[in-house]
Amino acid sequence: MRIVRIGVDTGGTFTDFVISENGRLSTKKLPSTPDDPSRAILEGLREYLEAGPGLVLIHGTTVATNALLERKGSKIALVTTKGFEDILSIGRQTRRLLYSLKGEPRIPLVQRDLCFGIAERTTADGTVERTPPPSAVRTLARTLVRRGVEAAAVSFINAYADGTNEEAVAAELERRGLLVCVSSRLLPEYREYERTSTTAVNAFLMPVLDRYLESLEGGLDKASLFIMQSNEGYISPRKARKEPIRTALSGPAGGVVGSLELARAAGFPEFISFDMGGTSTDVSLVDGDIRRTNENTVGDFPIPLPIIDIHSVGAGGGSIAHIDSGGSLRVGPRSAGADPGPACYGRGEDPTVTDADLVLGRIDPDYFLGGRMVIEPERSRAAIGRLAVRIRKTTLETAQGIVDIANANMEKAIRVISLERGFDPREFALLSFGGAGGMHAADLAASLRMKAVLAPQNAGVLSAFGLLLADSIKDYSRSVLKTVEKTDPAVLERGLQEMEKRGRRDLAEDGFALQAMFFERSVDLRYLGQSYEINVPFPPGGFKSLAEEFHRLHEKTYAYRHARGVVEIVTLRVKARGAAGKIRLRKIPPRPGASAGDAARKIQAIHYRGRAHKGPVYDRSRLSPGLRFDGPALVVDEGSTTFLPPGFALRVDGYHNLIIRKKE
């Protein structure tokens, strides 16, 4: 039977497709249709849908993220323990800006008159002390229906320890036809604000995803659909409807998965991905495996679910340079975005990082976006020149300064993802993609003394490519909150086995055979009294070596161990993975007799650290694998430009990746 697997990634501008058919890969790009993203998807899929059955679609969507950021989509209610109805307004009782006398308002996701308290109580040890009065619950259900609420979040104090009371309320609300999200099912972990907020966010997204998937599935006929979640795996539409929050940060997830496969093949399984776009930059660290974190936020909302650890900063090629009133040259946080865009686009007057790159010769003005867009280098020079006069520097010095400052901001982001997590960037390669990454990657990697820069082929559709490689992943967790000494290993084992059993059942429902199922056990541990946990893979030595493994990781991350400290088991986790059929990347043999010169389009002026150079501009698609050359040079393709500074060497590997190293 014919099986065509297609990864579809919806972005703000383009919808990307990577199609795998009989082991052959092809790509496709269509303009996105933001009002209903499914239109672009169905349009792109039409030829495959018409060709008959056997279509498997893995979809990365920003529908949830956008709904959250815009707070548009549904009307929800929150049900809490009586006395805690204001929990979303109070949050963690802090103000966002320390030195703002006029506090930045924070608007809760649920309006106050739709937050309801129920007189019930579960204690910290999980004893149900008071059950919800049935009459109050019935009244509540009627009220919600009358008020036109679509979905309800139910989150009671201490429900992480026992969810009986939540379930009782949920049952009644569901009976009345409401969508319900229950905190003890979604996130059975302590910290009432974070759990309640997550539950509310999920409830808010339920109607949104429900409507979106309905419109998409309506056009898909018999194709199988899976939705990418924010860890590295996908889930069924049924699960996505129940736990839509799991898709809320899925955009960059595909990119990281795609990067890992490419980087492994290229011989750099340990890398930091660096996706620098126009307005923001995402970095993520992969130490052979994709790392995950529970400390995430989307907009104002904390989302403590295990998702790929991606650090984002609001700086990119469009960040605007200006002189502040203390006389410092600042880059960002304001961005020129796509409109008016950098000065060279012909509309805006503000100089941006992209303008600096252009002035320094790191962009080929005749081949911007593959020549599809005409840019005006004169406008960049004029805009930067205006700044230069004010700080008594030349235009070129100022342009170099803008680039250096932008790089310093990027370096900070990479430090957060590496050094702050206990990793030394010198042991990693920098994998650069995104429109602006390639112009900055070499300097950045050199400054952090990283191993190399890897600029992959087809960087523009990396996210969609990653979707094809993703597995089906399901996360299970339960709170323990007991010290290692007081824990009975048999009880722990039982807990893990129960979660694995659920995993087997859920994966089987998605059509995975037993031999394609894999389980990873891990435990969140901390010193008794600490409030941050370290996720420790369940060691091969089993329970006995658990504490020692924690001491070791704690020392690695925070530079000290608390040898006499009591170790507490906070959360037990199982990650169930259904392995998808893999794609094998194929090596391309070198073209006999090829030389770099064949691919040179022209020679252009390149300014680097105060010196003028001349360097060739190479057409990436015409570079044969196996070629090597030194900087200064540019390598351009339709979606990106890679800048090879003087003193750096480049090699094209068998997968058409560019690998850049600083020369000794």
Integer Rg of the chain from CA: 26
Q: Which is nearer to other proteins, 24 or 102 (CB)?
A: 102
What is the closest distance, in whole angstroms, from the C-beta atom of residue 411 to other proteins in the complex?
9
CB of 34 vs other proteins, minimal distance in Å: 31
Phi, psi for 470 (deg, rounded to 5): -70, 150
Q: 333, 400 in Cβ contact below 8 A?
A: no
Look up residue 34 and give its DSSP letter.
T
Nearer to other proteins, 48 or 193 (CB): 193
Tell me, rounded to whole angstroms, the distance of Cα 423 from its chain centroid.
Answer: 19
CB 599 within 8 A of CB 619: yes
Q: Which residues contact 107 (CB under 8 A, 6 or more apart)?
A: 71
Give the count of beta carbons closer than 10 Å to the beta carbon of residue 593.
Answer: 7
CA 165/CA 143 separation, integer angstroms: 19
Three-state DSSP class for residue 11: coil
Nearer to other proteins, 206 or 442 (CB): 442
* Cβ nearer to other proteins, comparing 258 with 302: 302
- Under DSSP, the state recorded for 583 is P
> CB of residue 340 vs other proteins: minimum separation in angstroms?
24
CB of 87 to other proteins, least distance (A): 7
Least distance (Å) between residue 269 CB and other proteins? 27
Q: 426 or 505, CB closer to other proteins?
A: 426
Q: CA 46, CA 55: separation in Å to the nearest integer?
A: 11
Nearest CA to 227 among 517, 7, 5? 7
Of 392 and 584, the one with the shorter C-beta distance to other proteins is: 392
Would you give the DSSP letter of residue 661? E
Number of Cβ atoms within 10 Å of the Cβ of 244: 30
Q: Which residue is associated with the tokens 């112009």?
A: 439
Closest C-alpha among 68, 59, 86 to residue 202: 68
Whole-angstrom distance, CA of residue 355 vs CA of residue 363? 9
Minimum CB separation of residue 427 from other proteins in Å reads 17
Closest distance to other proteins from the beta carbon of 115 (Å): 10
412 vs 614 by CB, closer to other proteins: 412
As measured in angstroms, the least distance from the Cβ of 93 to other proteins is 4
- Comparing CB distances to other proteins, the nearer of 323 and 373 is 323
Whether the CB-CB separation of 153 and 84 falls below 8 Å is answered with no
- How big is the CA angle at 489 (ends 559 and 289), to the nearest 5 degrees? 45
Nearest approach in angstroms of CB 408 to other proteins is 5
Residues that bind other proteins (CB under 8 A): 83-87, 89-90, 92-95, 98-103, 105-106, 123-124, 157-158, 160, 190-194, 323-331, 391, 393, 397-398, 401, 404-405, 408-409, 412, 415, 419-420, 481, 527, 529-532, 557-560, 562, 565
CB nearer other proteins, residue 95 or residue 175: 95
Give the three-state DSSP class for 86: coil
Element of type H or E holding 642: strand 641-644
If you count them, how many residues does the chain have? 664
Question: CB-wise, 278 or 332, nearer to other proteins?
Answer: 332
Q: Taking a C-beta distance cutoff of 8 angstroms, is the pair 612, 605 a contact?
A: yes
Provide, rounded to whole angstroms, the least separation between the CB of residue 559 and other proteins.
5
